[in-house]
């Protein structure tokens, strides 16, 4: 099993790259952002609650995130894949701890956390551009986008130290073209797989 976390600020390309990696490595793609947006589109009261946080650039509270994710996992069979790519999850230390517990029970820990480095002006530019066509209400207001960056720095970036302590955190340049970033991610993943198989990788 190949379990990977794609990490980075909003708009760093996690979703874009996760879709390509999912196809290449036959992984299940778990994006909490996508799961939340699908719940919002169903116009349920739970979706309304999720939207109230997302529209303000805030994280969905952990307890609510766990509830939605648990229900999603109950409906999807994880056994039929070569592994899982986590995109936008975990975003807080309690989320990371819960994920570690869940994967420890399955004896399939995270192998590598790949962090896409992109400067703030570039991510704001990308998200505002996406906002023109995505219809996402959290994308089309620069103030909200900057608030999401602040939330990332305060609540999510501490995970870099959490996974560094586990010797799993790898940073790479997320500012090249989509294909360049993809090649770089694949190189890191191939290296991780080779190391886990006992190869002598320099």
Show which residues are catalytic.
Answer: 14, 91, 130, 136, 148
Minimal distance, residue 155 CB to ligand B4P, in Å:
9
CB-based contacts of 65: which residues, under 8 Å, 6+ apart? 32, 59, 89, 91, 95
Q: Which is nearer to ligand B4P, 101 or 197 (CB)?
A: 101
126 makes contact with ligand B4P (CB under 6 A): yes
- Alpha-carbon distance of 93 to 8, in angstroms, equals 15
Q: Residue 144: enclosing H or E segment and its boundaries?
A: helix 142-151
From the list 98-106, 162-170, 175-183, 189-197, the region that binds ligand B4P by CB under 6 A is 175-183
Site map (CB under 6 A) of ligand B4P, residues 30-59, x = contact = --xx--x----------------xx----x
Number of other residues whose CB lies within 10 A of the CB of residue 23: 10
- Alpha-carbon distance of 102 to 109, in angstroms, equals 9
Residue choice 161, 178, 195, 201 for contact with ligand B4P (CB under 6 A): 178
CB-based contacts of 72: which residues, under 8 Å, 6+ apart? 30, 35
Output phi, psi for 158, to 5 deg: -55, -20
Residue 152 is classified by DSSP as: I
Minimal distance, residue 93 CB to ligand B4P, in Å:
12
From the list 72-80, 84-92, 162-170, 187-195, the region that binds ligand B4P by CB under 6 A is 84-92
Q: Which is nearer to ligand B4P, 120 or 193 (CB)?
A: 120
- Alpha-carbon distance of 160 to 114, in angstroms, equals 10
The residues of the shown chain that bind ligand B4P, judged by CB under 6 A, are: 10-16, 32-33, 36, 53-54, 59-60, 65, 88-89, 91, 95, 126-127, 130, 138, 148, 177-178, 181
């Amino acid at each position: 099993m190949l379990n990977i976390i794609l990490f980075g600020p909003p708009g760093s390309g996690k979703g874009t790259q996760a879709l390509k990696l999912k196809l290449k490595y036959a992984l299940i793609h778990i994006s909490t952002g996508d799961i939340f947006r699908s719940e919002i589109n169903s116009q349920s009261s739970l979706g309304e609650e999720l939207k109230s946080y997302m529209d303000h650039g805030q994280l969905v509270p952990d307890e609510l995130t766990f509830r939605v994710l648990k229900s999603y996992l109950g409906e999807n069979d994880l056994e039929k894949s070569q592994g899982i790519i986590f995109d936008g999850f975990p975003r807080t230390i309690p989320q990371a701890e819960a994920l570690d517990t869940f994967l420890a029970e399955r004896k399939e820990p995270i192998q590598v956390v790949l962090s896409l480095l992109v400067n703030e002006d570039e991510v704001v530019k990308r998200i505002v551009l996406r906002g023109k066509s995505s219809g996402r209400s959290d994308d089309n207001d620069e103030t909200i986008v900057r608030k999401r960056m602040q939330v990332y720095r305060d609540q999510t970036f501490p995970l870099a130290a959490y996974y560094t302590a586990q010797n799993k955190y790898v940073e790479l340049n997320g500012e090249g073209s989509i294909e360049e970033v993809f090649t770089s991610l694949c190189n890191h993943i191939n290296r991780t797989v080779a190391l886990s198989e006992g190869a002598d990788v320099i």
